[in-house]
Structure 1
Amino acid sequence: MLFNSYVFIFAFLPVVLVGFALLRRLENLNWAIVWLTAASLFFYGWWKAEFLLLILTSIIANLIFGKILMAMPGEGKKSRLVLIAGLAFNLALLGYFKYANFFVSNVNTAFGSNWTLPQILLPIGISFITFQKIAFLVDAYRGKVKDFSVLNYCFFVTFFPQLIAGPIVHHAEVMPQLKEAPRRDFSRDFAIGCSIFIIGLFKKVVIADTLAVYADAGYAAVAAGQTLDFASAWVAVLSYSFQLYYDFSGYSEMAVGLGRMFGIRLPVNFLSPYKSASIVEFWRRWHITLSRFLRDYLYIPLGGNRHGPLRRYLHLGLVMLLGGLWHGANWTFAVWGVLHGLMLAINHAWAAIPLSQSRWLRGAPARIFFVFLTFLLVTLAWVPFRSPGLSQATTMLGFLMPGPGALVSFKAFVTAQYVGIFGAFDTWFTPRELWPPVLPPNYLATMAKPVGLLLALVTALTFLMPNTYRLLGRFEPAIGIDERLQGGTGILSRLGPAQAVLLGFMFVVSVLGLARVSPFLYFQF
């Protein structure tokens, strides 16, 4: 069940909200939490009911491991064995469903064998759920689990806003809230949560899904062996870069908004990462909860930066390689992870040089340059991430390189997309076959209107506008918001009639785009 679907918005969510609003009036507030847990399990089983058995089995097993670990004082040999067994159980489930076919395929390629496995469907959300359970077991082993009960644990694992694609919620963030969540001001939480949800829905349906048309066409053309000119290749690559940005940003905000409707503040997972002036800063803003997990449960246990710069860079590379493979069982994700590991190592090495602290490199002009450079590097790294294979990624990167015809291609793009821009609305909205079976090399740049206007608008929106958490900062919408964002600014610094009209308009426009089914990109991971 997708957040951006009629059945979720007009059936599932209203029923769950009404049930919660009624049950929170009872003296025993646990019934409201039971209701949300049951609704979350129904939500998870909507796609494939048989996967309910998998998640329930996993919950029971992890409860047993957790109980044993919490009953064992200290970090002794027996508790380490229990922890290893618990980690092995969770990683085995993830490995089988996500990587078994990938492993067998590579073994067949390497040794010329012909092993086969039955078709394995990937349970939705298994990557996110697995990391949450691993963090819980490790913290139980370290004696850090508080506010634990069977009901609290089941709710923490299954709560539907974060169940499918994050954020990767830490038990210490959610469990302590369950005592107070049903007692909070429901109307206030609903207004704040609904506002955040609508903004996220608009980002996904109106912005991300519109850009997806151009990104998919460009990458499909390359996969089919077609040629793209310089400008068209950049249109496809930039369209995907912004599509992924607004798709993931939209989902993250919808999750935070949904949690807030029920009085639960989820951690912020996405904080204007394209405004980052370095790769290090980028990873503090992009998929924040994944970065946190990799740091706390992989990078630091490996040794972090405690054994000198060379070991630090090796740890960064290994962590990012595993982070890349976590996204999917394909060597393209591994390459993407290695690229980011390499960029992080270079970034840290540069920061250790005194020249990097020069006052000439700390002013506004320098920051603008570094923001542009970081965005460019991140966008180029998305090419293998998006491509179906390494050969297609190499081909697309080749089209992006300036050559003899690059200037001509760029001029043709500017002329076609921006000259006489206001007289072109009739051609933009005239029904036609948008993507012919074989694209002319310059199709995306010169004939796929209004991509030029869309890219200009989305660039301005990304780099010049405040993010949702700054707009709604005074309402403390999520956990982990920088203090500088808590004051609130702009039209959404309060929620009144004018804001209701604006948000209502955004909601209507978004709902009109729900006719086409468009899963979130991070559902694939």
Structure 2
Amino acid sequence: MLFNSYEFLFFFLPVTLGVFFALSGYRCLRTAAAWLALVSIFFYGYWSPRYVLLLLASIAVNFAAGHLILRCRGASRMRAAKRVLVLALAANLGALGYFKYANFFVESLNAAAGSQWHLAPIVLPIGISFFTFTQIAFLVDTYQGKVRESRIVPYILFVAYFPHLIAGPVLHHAEMMPQFARAETYRFRLDNFLLGMGFFLIGLFKKVVLADGIQPFVSPVFESDPAYALTLIEAWGGVLAYTLQLYFDFSGYSDMAIGLSKMFNVDLPLNFNSPYKATSIVEFWRRWHMTLSRFLRDYLYIALGGNRHGTLRRYANLMLTMLLGGLWHGAGWTFFVWGGLHGAYLVVNHLWQALRARLGHDLARSTPAGRLCAAALTFLCVALAWVFFRATSFDAALRVLDGMAGVNGVALPVEWQALPWAAALAVPFAPLEAFGGLRQLGWIAVLLLVVWTCPNSQTLMGRLDGLVRARVAAPARRERWGWLSLGGMTACVFLLAAISASHGISEFIYFNF
């Protein structure tokens, strides 16, 4: 079930909200929590009922392991607690490895050894990377004494909570468990509901209008015939289109997840914060998929030693963390290279900062021109790496890179010959199969303008937050203003749902990870 589908918008969400707050109104708070956990499992099973058993088994094993670790810690049996932790981590990584990497491993082995081994096709359970990482963090924190207790219903809700289950964010128990335990969470609040609707509508617009709108210009480049030589304008047009499609697709999902959760009075951690405004790769990773970056830092990079064992070890740890982060996104060597590129970017970034510090430069100071150049360079490096992220093979990625480098020449669409200024250009004209002409250029220009000049969703909703809460708090205005706002937002949902249907309901890109 997709957030932008009719069955979600007009059946699942209204029923879930209605029953949740109806139960809360009768002070059946535990029943309301159980209801939310149950419908979250249903939400997951709507995609494929057979994998509900996998999700439930994962929850049961990890909850039992966490409970056992707590008991061992309580009895001062730390060696036993560590054995339980190791076994539980092995079970989690084993399940993730089988479903996500088994076929990739066999194919790589066949390519290296010339063998002909085959596995039956394995369908990747949706969201397995997210609920596995969420529970790994829970187990490690339990072992380290950061978790004091855990009850089964809040734990199921923590892992399977439907706004995050399919594509993140990667949750941390310390952020979520207290919210599920608060009585205030179960009281309907019009201000939170309207703010949540606002976030959800912004995200829905980003997905069905912006991301899906530019998507048709991506596939002709990345899925072009191997015999077709991509020209410079085609390759750059396709790469920039994908760079923007991925941005608005993931940003839209993140806003929708935050908005949905806000309707239930639960705050999800921020996962996306205008990453293309970053002036360095270090800053980019503080803004892009922020909860995954936090997980990789806290549970992998620091576990490897972080920066505690000298400069070379620090850079090696950075590179290894990003390589594994690349493979987390997908079982393929293209993802490995994408992670390696970002690892190399981070190493160069830290080396550059160290050099500037040694030369006596003030790292906290910069000029507007310097920030602009840094942001442009960061954006180009990120866009270059996205080629491997999107390409289905090395050959496909290299063909796109050849086009970007101008190996196949520079040509303009033959349709432009009729334009008044065409004769003044010393550039040949040719039929470009993988370029959408002025329409594609218009999409790219408008979306780049939005990315670099418009405030992000958090800023927009932050400005509205005080207004909404003040209006809702005023008894004379509350009912009328609240219903008018709700009616307007509902009309927007219908409109955006109609736009989505006209394009065809499309999955979010991060559903595949």
Counterpart code for 2:372:
I
Choose which of 354, 373, 381 in structure 1 pairs with 2:385: 381
Question: Unmatched 5+ residue regions in structure 1?
Answer: 421-439, 478-494
Cα distance in 1 for residues equivalent to 2:484 and 2:402:
49
- Post-superposition shift, 1:513? 2.2
One of 372, 382, 385 as aligned partner of 1:368: 372
User: Is 1:206–1:513's contact at 8 Å kept on the other side of the alignment?
Assistant: yes
TM-score when scaled to structure 1? 0.87
Give the Cα separation in 2 of the matches to 1:276 and 1:413.
37
Change (3 A) 1:147 1:473: farther
Q: 1:518 aligns with which of 492, 506, 511?
A: 506
SS at match of 2:118: coil
Query: Residues 41 and 498 of structure 1: is their aligned pair in 2 closer, same or farther, counting only changes over 3 Å?
Result: closer
**For residue 393 of structure 1, what is the amino acid of its counterpart?**
A
Does structure 1 conserve the Cα–Cα contact (< 8 Å) formed by 2:67 and 2:150?
A: no
Sort the Cα spacing of 1:325 and 1:263 in 2 relative to 1 into closer, same or farther, 3 A: same
* Residue number in structure 2 paired with 1:182: 185
Deviation at 1:106, TM superposition (A): 1.1
Deviation readout 1:436-478 (Å, 9 max, x if unpaired): xxxx752444x5451111111101100000000011125779x
State the Cα RMSD in Å: 2.5
Q: Distance in 1 between matches of 2:278 and 2:173?
A: 29
What does 1:471-482 correspond to in 2, within 5 Å?
471-473=460-462
Q: How do residues 75-474 of structure 1 correspond to structure 2 at under 5 angstroms? A: 76-146=78-148, 148-180=150-182, 181-221=184-224, 223-353=225-355, 354=357, 355=359, 357-358=361-362, 362-402=366-406, 405-406=409-410, 409=412, 442-445=432-435, 447-473=436-462
In structure 2, distance between residues paired with 1:381 and 1:190: 39
- Write the letter of the residue equivalent to 2:22: L
State the alpha-carbon separation in 2 of the partners of residues 467 and 80 from structure 1. 43
After superposition, the C-alpha distances for 1:275-327 in whole angstroms (9 at most, x for unaligned) are 00000000000000000000000000110011111111100000000000000
1: CA distance, partners of 2:77 / 2:421 = 69
Match in the other structure for 2:426: none
Q: Distance in 2 between matches of 1:297 and 1:476?
A: 34
Q: Is the 8 A contact 1:360 1:366 kept in 2?
A: no
1:118-140: CA deviation from partner (whole Å, max 9, x where unpaired) = 11111100000100010000001
CA distance in 1, matches of 2:335, 2:79: 36
Runs of at least 5 residues in structure 2 that lack an aligned partner in the other structure: 423-429, 467-480
Quote the Cα distance in structure 2 between the aligned partners of 1:418 and 1:457: 23
Q: Distance in 2 between matches of 1:155 and 1:186?
A: 20
Question: Which stretch shows the higher mean deviation, 71-80 or 265-274?
Answer: 71-80
Q: Deviations over 1:12-47 (max 9, x none)?
A: 111101111201112231111111000000000001
Over 4 Å off, 4+ runs: 358-361, 411-420, 474-477, 495-506
Which stretch has the larger CA shift, 111-120 or 460-469? Answer: 111-120
1:72 deviates by 1.8
Rate the CA distance shift 1:391–1:75 in 2: closer, same or farther, 3 A.
farther
- The answer to whether the Cα contact below 8 Å between 1:231 and 1:413 also exists between their aligned partners in 2 is no
Decide whether aligned partners of structure 1 residues 502 and 365 sit closer, same or farther in structure 2, where only a CA change above 3 A counts: farther
Structure 1 Cα separation of the partners of residues 105 and 419 of structure 2: 46
CA contact (8 A) 1:417 1:450 kept: no
Counterpart contact for 1:229–1:441, Cα < 8 Å: no
Secondary structure in structure 2 of the residue aligned to 1:518: coil
Q: Name the amino acid aligned to 2:368.
A: A
Distance apart, 1:405 and its partner CA = 4.0
CA distance in 2, matches of 1:417, 1:393: 33
Q: Give the superposition deviation at 1:502.
A: 7.7
Q: Is the Cα–Cα contact under 8 Å of residues 227 and 441 in structure 1 kept in the other structure?
A: no
Q: Distance in 2 between matches of 1:473 and 1:142?
A: 36
- What's the CA shift string for 1:132-176, capped at 9, x where partnerless? 010000001011014621111110000000000000011111100
Deviations 1:196-236 (A, max 9, x none): 00100110110001111101121111x54322221111110
Q: Which amino acid aligns with 2:499?
A: G
Match of 2:475 in 1: none
Residue 6, structure 1, aligned to residue 6, structure 2: yes
Secondary structure class of the residue paired with 2:150: coil
Q: 1:102 to 1:169 in 2, by over 3 A?
A: same
Q: Give me the whole-angstrom Cα distance separating, in 2, the residues matched to 1:48 and 1:61.
A: 21
Residues 202 and 507, structure 1, Cα contact 8 Å, conserved in 2: no
**Structure 1 residues 176-185 or 230-239, which shifts more?**
176-185
SS in 1 for 2:49: coil
Determine the C-alpha separation between the residues in 1 that align with 2:283 and 2:23. Answer: 43
Equivalents in 2 of 1:64, 1:47: separation in Å?
Answer: 27
Alpha carbons of 1:350 and 1:158: their partners in 2 closer, same or farther (altered >3 Å)? same
Q: Aligned partners of 1:275, 1:506: CA distance in 2, in Å? A: 29
Q: Does 1:507 align with 2:493?
A: yes
CA contact (8 A) 1:83 1:138 kept: yes
Cα distance 1:498–1:471, how it changes in 2: closer, same or farther (>3 A)? farther
Which residue identity lines up with residue 96 of structure 2 in the other structure? Answer: L
Aligned length: 485
Contact (CA 8 Å) 2:230, 2:408: kept in 1 or not? no
CA shift in 2, pair 1:458/1:313, >3 Å = same
2:57 aligned with 1:27, yes or no?
A: no
Give the distance between the partners of 1:88 and 1:475, measured in 2 at CA: 46
Q: 1:498 to 1:461 in 2, by over 3 A?
A: farther
For residues 419 and 47 of structure 1, do their structure 2 counterparts lie closer, same or farther at Cα, with a shift above 3 Å needed? farther
Deviation sequence 1:249-295 (CA, Å, 0-9, x none) = 00011111111111110001000000000000000000000000000
Query: Could you say which residue in structure 2 is the equivalent of 1:486?
Result: none
Task: Give the partner amino acid of 1:210.
Answer: G
Give yes or no for contact 1:102–1:329 (8 Å, CA) kept in 2. Answer: yes
In 2, are the aligned partners of 1:21 and 1:186 still within 8 Å (CA)? no
What is the rounded CA distance, in whole Å, between the counterparts of 1:72 and 1:413 in structure 2? 73
Contact 2:134 2:172 in 1 (8 A): yes
Structure 1 residues 418, 86: CA separation in 2 closer, same or farther (over 3 Å shift)? farther
3-state DSSP of counterpart to 1:82: helix
Name the amino acid aligned to 1:19.
V
Q: Go from structure 1 to structure 2 and tell me whether the alpha carbon gap of 1:498 and 1:378 turns closer, same or farther (over 3 Å shift).
A: farther
CA distance in 1: counterparts of 2:55 and 2:251, whole angstroms = 27
